[in-house]
Structure 1
Amino acid sequence: MTISHEPHHKPQHGDVQQRRHGQPHEAHAYWVTKDGHGELRSEAIETPQDGQALVRTLYSGVSRGTERVVHEGRVPERVADLMHAPHQEGDFPGPVKYGYLNVGVVEQGPDEWVGKTVFSLHPHQDFYVVPTKQLTPIPHDVPARRAVLTGIVEVAINALWEAGPRLGDRVAVVGGGLVGGVLATLLRKYPLGRLQLVDADPDKQKLAETLGIDFAEPSEAKGDCDIVFHCSASNEGLKLSLQLAGDDSDVIELSWFADKEVTLPLGEDFHARRLTIRSSQVGAVALPRRHRRTNAQRLQEAAAQLKDPLFDTFITSECQFRNLPATIVSLFERPGGFCHVVAYPKPEE
Structure 2
Amino acid sequence: MSAAAGTALAYWATAPGQGELRREPLPRPGPGEALVRACASGISRGTELLVRRGGVPGSQVDRMRAPFQEGTFPFPVKYGYLSVGVVEHGPQDWVGSRVFCLHPHQDRYVVPVGALTRVPDGVPSARAVLAGPTETALNALWDAPPCAGDRVAVVGGGLIGGALALLLRRFPLQRLQVVEADGDRRRRLADAGLSAVPPEQALPDCDLVFHASASEPGLALALSLAGDDADVVELSWFGSPAPQVPLGEDFHSRRLRLLASQVSRVGAARRHRRDPAARLGTALDLLSDPAFDLLLATERPFDAITTAFEDLEHDRDGGGCVVLSYPGADSRGPATPAPHP
219-228 vs 325-334, greater mean Cα deviation? 325-334
Gaps of 5+ in 2: 330-337
- Give the drift of 1:209: 1.4
Q: Corresponding residue for 1:93? A: 74
1:276 match: 257
Matched, 1:231 2:231: no
Following the alignment from structure 1 to structure 2, what is the Cα–Cα distance between the partners of residues 53 and 263? 46
Which range moved further: 248-257 or 329-338?
329-338
Contact (CA 8 Å) 1:10, 1:345: kept in 2 or not?
no
Q: 2:155: which partner in 1?
A: 174
Kept after mapping to 2: 8 A contact 1:242/1:269: no
Given that 2:210 and 2:235 are in contact with CA atoms closer than 8 Å, whether structure 1 keeps it comes out as yes
SS of residue matched to 2:251: helix
Contact 1:64/1:332, CA 8 A, preserved across alignment = no
- Over residues 17-66 of structure 1, what are the superposed CA-to-partner deviations in whole Å (9 max), with x where a residue is unaligned? xxxxxxxx100100000343101111112111111110000000001111
SS of 1:270's partner is coil
Q: SS of 1:340's equivalent?
A: strand
Residue matched to 1:338: 320
**2:102 is aligned with 1:121:** yes
- Is this contact kept in 2: 1:57–1:103, CA < 8 A? yes
Report the Cα distance in structure 2 between the residues aligned to 1:10 and 1:46, rounded to whole angstroms: 13
Instruction: Count the aligned residue pairs.
Output: 329
Task: Give the whole-Å Cα distance in 1 for the aligned partners of 2:37 and 2:185.
Answer: 36
- Give the C-alpha shift of residue 10 in structure 1: 4.4
Distance 1:62 1:26 in 2: 23
Tell me the equivalent position of 2:89: 108
**Which range moves more in the overlay, 231-240 or 329-338?**
329-338
Aligned to 2:36: 55
- Which residue does 2:333 correspond to in 1? none
Alignment-mate amino acid for residue 266 of structure 2: V
Partner of 1:21: none
Report the alpha carbon displacement of residue 325 of structure 1 after superposing the two structures with TM.
1.7
1:302 equivalenced with 2:283 (yes/no): yes
Q: Determine if contact 1:116/1:137 at 8 Å carries over to the other structure.
A: yes
Counterpart Cα distance in 1 of 2:185 and 2:39: 30
Q: Does residue 220 of structure 1 match 2:201? A: yes
Which of these residues, 311, 319, 328, is aligned with residue 300 of structure 2?
319
- 1:287-331, CA deviations, whole angstroms, 9 ceiling, x for partnerless residues? 221111111001000100011111111111111111112331122
Instruction: Tell me the distance in 1 between the aligned counterparts of 2:246 and 2:89.
Output: 56
Q: Which moved more, 1:264-273 or 1:148-157?
A: 264-273
SS in 2 for 1:42: strand
Structure 1 position 141, deviation (Å): 1.1
SS in 1 for 2:252: helix
Q: CA deviation at 1:286?
A: 1.2
Counterpart Cα distance in 2 of 1:156 and 1:169: 18
Q: CA deviation at 1:204?
A: 3.0
Asked if the contact 2:100–2:119 (Cα under 8 Å) also holds between the matched residues in 1, the reply is yes
Distance in 2 separating the partners of 1:53 and 1:204: 38
Secondary structure class of the residue paired with 1:112: coil
Q: Deviations over 1:72-94 (max 9, x none)?
A: 00011111110111111111111
TM-score for the superposition, normalised by structure 1:
0.91
SS at structure 1 position matched to 2:303 = helix
Shift of 1:160: 0.7
1:266 deviates by 0.8
Cα distance in structure 1, aligned partners of 2:182 and 2:120: 35
Percent of paired sites with the same residue: 53
* Distance in 1 (alpha carbons) for counterparts of 2:85 and 2:150: 39
- In the alignment, structure 1 segments of 5+ residues that lack a partner are 1-7, 16-24
CA distance in 2: counterparts of 1:172 and 1:263, whole angstroms: 21
Q: How does 1:183-222 map to 2 (within 5 A)?
A: 183-222=164-203
User: In the alignment, is residue 262 of structure 1 matched against residue 243 of structure 2?
Assistant: yes
Q: TM-score, normalised by structure 2?
A: 0.93
- Is 1:9 aligned with 2:5? no
Superposed CA deviations along residues 203-241 of structure 1, whole A, max 9, x for unmatched, are 333123112121222222111111100000000000011
Task: Give SS of 1:227's match.
Answer: strand
